[in-house]
Amino acid sequence: MIYIKTKKEVDFIRESCKIVAETLKLVANNIRPGIATIELDRIAEEYILSNNAKAAFKGYSQAGSYDYPASICVSIDNEVVHGIPGDRVLKVGEIVSIDVGVLKNGYFGDAALSVAVGEISSERKKLLDVTEKSLYEGIKEAKLKNRVQDISFAVQKYVEANGFSVVKDLCGHGVGKFLHEEPAVPNYGTRGTGPKLKKNMTIAIEPMVNTGTYKVKTAKDGWTVITQDGLPSAHFEHTILITDGSPEILTVC
């Protein structure tokens, strides 16, 4: 079922999304060589709680795995998504993807970004740039009466034109009453297919882009998704609102 939100619901989602955006900015500003990923998690959780909200990921369950143990996801280099914060220390040259979800007043917000740790290679810079730009290519298609896979097609076309690949086993999603709602928003597809986009739908668009093959697997920890070939990946995400005009990005501050 695809939920069409009321104005009041949109306002609640917007509030959660604002906290998500502020948390992402705060965490990104603290990324530096030598910091442990668990410290980034602590910074995020403290800020979320200070806003009378909850970290949406903490305690989240999925089939076949234990409840997610941290407040945010911190994924490094060949880790695509769902990296669990811990004692690992960031090093110069790495790519770090931060994913944040927030629950407040019964409604969710969700967003992610990828950040360089110090100086990175030109190929990695290109990966970050292409992944972020592909997100905005997708957002441009999130218009009334378009279909979901108009978004998907735009992301895939941009990514592949630049020599990278989109992850096919994972996708974006509706968000609002639940952290993950219908419709699924793949990062590949056929233009003109999928559910129609309607006013007051809220969806998370999130390209996950790999340097090499699109194929991924789950690590031994049961959560972290990694590239099969061990090459770097990047991840950017926004929650957006379908309006009468241009889509509104809710996860900005």
- Residue-wise pLDDT tens digits, 58-103: 999 987 789 999 999 999 999 999 999 999 999 999 999 999 999 9
Strand partners, 53: none
**7-249 fold:** Creatine Amidinohydrolase (3.90.230)
Token pair of 147, please?
């279909």
For the chain, give the mean pLDDT.
Answer: 97
Structure letter (DSSP) for residue 196:
B
Tell me whether the omega of the peptide bond preceding residue 85 falls within 30 degrees of 0, making it cis. no
Phi first, then psi: what are they for 107, rounded to 5°? -135, 150
Q: Report pLDDT for 190.
A: 98
- Does the predicted model carry a pTM greater than 0.95? yes
> In the chain, which residues have pLDDT < 70?
none
Q: Report pLDDT for 142.
A: 98
Dihedral sign, CA of 22, 24, 28, 34? positive
Q: Report pLDDT for 113.
A: 98
In the chain, where the domains are located: 7-249
Residues 6+ apart with CB under 8 A from 52: 104
Q: Give the integer Cα–Cα distance in Å for 27 and 21.
A: 10
